[in-house]
Each structure stands twice: as C-alpha cells, then as structure tokens.
Amino acid sequence: MTDKKTLKRQYLETKTRAGVYAIRNQITGRALVAGSTNVQGTLNRHRFELQHGLHRNARLAQDWVEHGETNFLFDVLDMVKPSEDPAFNVTRELEMLVSLWRQEIPCLGELGYGDPRSQPR
C-alpha cells in the first residue's frame, strides 16, 4: 500500500507539461480554449474553482451552476513536445498551439467564455 509520503514524493517529482486545454459546455456549445505551462494543474484548478463557486470567469461560473458539472468536458487537447534545442521557446510554441486549436474549436464571442489571457493564471 502506498503511503502519503510516497505519494507526495511522486507528485513533487512529476514534471509539469505545457499544453492546450479546453473546457466545453455540452449544452450551450460555449468553450474556453487556452494554454498553460502546467496544463493538468491548470485544468484541476479550473475544476476546483468551479466546484467551490470561486471561478473568476462569471459567464463560465454561471453556466456551471445552471447546467451542472456533468455537462462540462475538461480536455487536454495538445502538449508541447519537449526539445533539446537551446533556442526552443516553450511560450512561443504554446501560443502557436493555442492559436491553432482556437481555429478548430469555436470559442470566441457568443461561443466562448472570453479571453483567458485577461484572467490571472
């Protein structure tokens, strides 16, 4: 049986990965598509904030209350591929991937939850 100390060590040793994520409302079709240097952690934070009524995006929080957790999808869409190239820029690569995914998933205007860049990460 794994104890808490072992689990904590495993968590601390886990490398964070940059990637693109989406939070999608299956009822309205609205979506939030964004990127993070810790994609899984950011998705977990969004879910936690929504579950506890703490989310800063008022429209998303309102839809969460109105439609319920079971009507939302939380997905990691893409991950930044690690590179040994010293000139590789994770932030620039992440911005490019976000831009590509926003073309695939309608997430702006009435179909979106605003620009997540204007919200603290």
Per the domain annotation, does 10 fall within a domain?
A: no
44-69, pLDDT tens digit by residue?
A: 999 999 999 999 999 999 999 999 99
Q: Considering its fold, how many domains does the chain have in total?
A: 1
What does pLDDT average to over the chain? 88
pLDDT tier at 82, thresholds 50, 70, 90: confident
The CATH number given to whatever domain includes residue 24 is: 3.40.1440.10
Distance CA 109, CA 116 (A): 13
pLDDT of residue 121: 40
Question: What range defines the domain where residue 23 resides?
Answer: 17-113
The whole-model pTM stands at 0.81
Q: What is the pLDDT of residues 15-46, one digit of tens each?
A: 779 999 999 999 999 999 999 999 999 999 99
User: Considering the chain, what percentage of its residues have pLDDT values greater than 90?
Assistant: 72
